[in-house]
Amino acid sequence: MIPVRGYDGKRVGVLGLGRSGLATARALRAGGADPICWDDNVEARSVAQDERFTVADLTKERTYEGIAAVITSPGIPHLYPSPHPAIEMAQRQGAVIDNDIGLFFRSFATEDWEEFERAPRIVCVTGSNGKSTTTALIVHILKQAGHDVQMGGNIGRGVLDLDPARDGMVVVLELSSYQTELARALSPDIAVFLNLSPDHLDRHGGMGGYFAAKRRLFSQGGPERAIIGVDEREGRYLAAQLREEAEQGDPVIRISSGTKLSGDGWSVFARKGFLAEWRKGRQVASVDLREVSGLPGAHNHQNACAAWAAARALNLGPRQIEGGLRSYPGLRHRCQTVGEVRGVRLVNDSKATNADAAEQALKAFKRIRWIAGGVAKEGGIASLLPLMDRVEKTYLIGEAAHAFSEQLGEHPHKVSGTLEAAFADALADAVDGETILLAPACASFDQFPSFEARGEAFEQLASNAS
């Protein structure tokens, strides 16, 4: 746990008592503060009471006597589409509003650091897609190279639940736009911006607000090294702006999947399955990604470029990084190979809960037996029809099955109904060299409580078949 600094002896509201909220309350108490906790959910409030936290309604004016700040969980809206009533009340009462990320950055560094031989380093990863894989990949590479490393934020442990800093430690954080937009303190040593595509637009008031939330990690955070994906215009804009603001050297490493990057700066890009690092107009390293089973597809090659750049910024050598890439097992439920039967590859991409994510999975393989369906998102799978030349047959499950069947039209498909039936149907049809791919393009809540539970069910089916 990282005790929160700056609120000793003060009352501090904690809004939202999930994983990060309870960790925040504990860290505040460890730092000498008096947490005042609230959650709209009665069961969550009961858990806080069991830990002997004060529970009081933060939507009520009377609760704010002596409250210095309100620390809100990331999923709670504070501006768009409309603020939570407790946020509105905190604003009226003049309370500081922050989140656990802001508290982490104001509390992680302590006087003990003066005794360290090597200062701890913080790497932050943001973007629309690939954050979790990139974060986990950086952590894996660093661990394989013998580094003391922790992972947290939107993946792994809550940031205030991490261990205090140790000599030479590296902390790698996955940060969503919900987390970066509100944090009052941001000071990463290395910051990664992967990509930007429409998401959470109601929360941010449109694409401009969404990009602005991501950009704060760089504009306010002022990282020593910024790793920027330049395959979209927002990334190119950000990279150019950061280069212009640099007074000494170039703090930017540009990354791309599919485009050879030119110029005299530092860049890492992947084309046709090969990753290349260039500095000052010449190639300094290269690696073949085509046989790296844990990172299939162009989208994962962008993740590999980002992780390579972050590891190089932390002074790892190319051979160390290549070894980490090759041994990376893949992040669970994200294009993860979980077995092979009679030469048929079994791939779990249960995290592909919308068409955009499923598109990346479909592009990563050929000769696919595709399992899709669940609770459909707007538009269904219409955008994926141009990729059906990669699909031998589709096996449909869940409440979206019949609607998806209509969208598929003449493309070979079967309404299997359940995941178990779809897996059995696909395995019966599949031949050597094909891939059975679970990439549902749907939420899971009709048949499973989460995408993780859906992926675990697929893993069990794969294990039973192997």
Which residues carry a binding-site annotation for ATP? 127-133
Does residue 231 contact residue 195 with C-beta atoms inside 8 Å? yes
**Dihedral, CA atoms, 359, 361, 365, 366, nearest 10 degrees?**
-40
Q: Are strands 252-257 and 225-229 parallel, antiparallel or unpaired?
A: parallel
Does residue 25 contact residue 73 with C-beta atoms inside 8 Å? no
Distance CA 365, CA 299 (A): 12
Secondary structure (DSSP) of 142-202: HHHTT--EEEEESSSB-GGGSPPP-TT-EEEEE--HHHHTT-S----SEEEE----S-SHH
- List residues forming the annotated binding site: 127-133
Does residue 400 contact residue 376 with C-beta atoms inside 8 Å? yes
Per-residue b or e along 352-387, where b marks 16 or more CB atoms closer than 10 Å to that residue's CB: bbbbbbbbbbbebbeebbbbbbbebbeebbeebeeb
Name 36's bridge partners. Answer: 13, 54
Residue type for position 282 = R
Does residue 361 contact residue 331 with C-beta atoms inside 8 Å? no
Distance CA 249, CA 313 (A): 14
- Dmax (CA) for the chain in angstroms is 69
